[in-house]
Amino acid sequence: MKRRIAVYGGSFDPFHLGHLVPTVRALETFRFDGVYFVPAGEPPHKQGEPLTAVTHRLAMIAAATLHYDGFYASDAEVFTEGPTYTVNTVRLFRERFPDHDPYFILGSDSFSQIGQWDRWLELVELTHLVVLHRAHMWGEKLMARVPKVLLSRLQSITPFDAVPDPTEQTIYLLNHEPFPISGTSIRDRQRRGLPIRELVPHEIYSYVQKYNLYQREGEDFV
């Protein structure tokens, strides 16, 4: 089997169990040599929306993944200027790891919008995709939104099944049990004073409390 590396890009605002647990399943299934979590610096599709400082988001990922072999927090988009694009990040990792077969991990909600991404046709020629199961965007609903040119590349995978080396760029649908959690709902719960402890790794909970992130309504946003 070829050596494999995975990149998981996203806002991670905050990093939560809906990110962590499915990625553990992906690591176990694809036997990646490493998974690099890349918090988005300035995602073009979220221009004008408030994002927690990327340094906070990177620190939270580093704390939550420290005890997991093969998981790494990456600052690949932290020091870039202007909008950050997935295709450029994937190219960077291909250059850093020329002896590895690259995979890009994303949620099915993001995958459903890939046709709107910058240079998405270039992206799907650079890397395999591993699509994580989001409960609200799967099955026929997801298929209806995927660009038709990609449908022939789709392959459903059950966690822990052996995944042979592909002969062409492939899009894997990892059919794990979905976690109905989102960063938006966690931020909203924190602002409203509702518990989030069971939705995030304990390191994230402690970090959010320490730095007073996602404050309650009426308080300044950090």
b/e code 23-39 from CB counts within 10 Å (16+ = b): bebbbebbebebbbbbb
pLDDT value for 185: 95
Quote the Cα angle for 181-187-189, to 5°.
80
Tokens standing for residue 161: 């099944």
Q: Which CATH superfamily is domain 4-210 in?
A: HUPs (3.40.50.620)
Distance separating the N- and C-terminal Cα atoms of the chain: 45
For 124: left if phi > 0, alpha if psi spans -120 to 50, otherwise beta; the answer is alpha
pLDDT value for 138: 97
The pTM (predicted TM-score) of the whole model is: 0.93
pLDDT value for 216: 61
Spans of the chain, pLDDT less than 50: 218-222
* Domains of the chain by residue range: 4-210
- 77 contact partners, CB below 8 Å, separation of at least 6: 9, 38, 39, 40, 41, 42, 54, 84, 89
Q: Give the residue carrying structure tokens 């996203």.
A: 10
Phi/psi of residue 44, nearest 5 degrees: -65, -30
pLDDT value for 197: 96
Tokens standing for residue 11: 């806002």
pLDDT value for 41: 82
Going across the sheet that includes 34-39, the strands are 71-73, 34-39, 4-10, 101-107, 128-132, 171-174, 154-157
- Please report, for residues 106, 126, 214, the alpha-carbon distance to residue 64 in angstroms, rounded to integers and kept in the order given: 18, 29, 18
Rg (CA), the chain: 17
Distance, CA of 129 to CA of 154 (rounded, Å): 9
Quote the Cα angle for 73-101-106, to 5°.
50
pLDDT value for 215: 83
For 104: left if phi > 0, alpha if psi spans -120 to 50, otherwise beta; the answer is beta
pLDDT value for 222: 37
Distance, CA of 17 to CA of 40 (rounded, Å): 18
Tokens standing for residue 143: 């298929």
Three-class SS state of 71 = strand
Tokens standing for residue 209: 């409390």
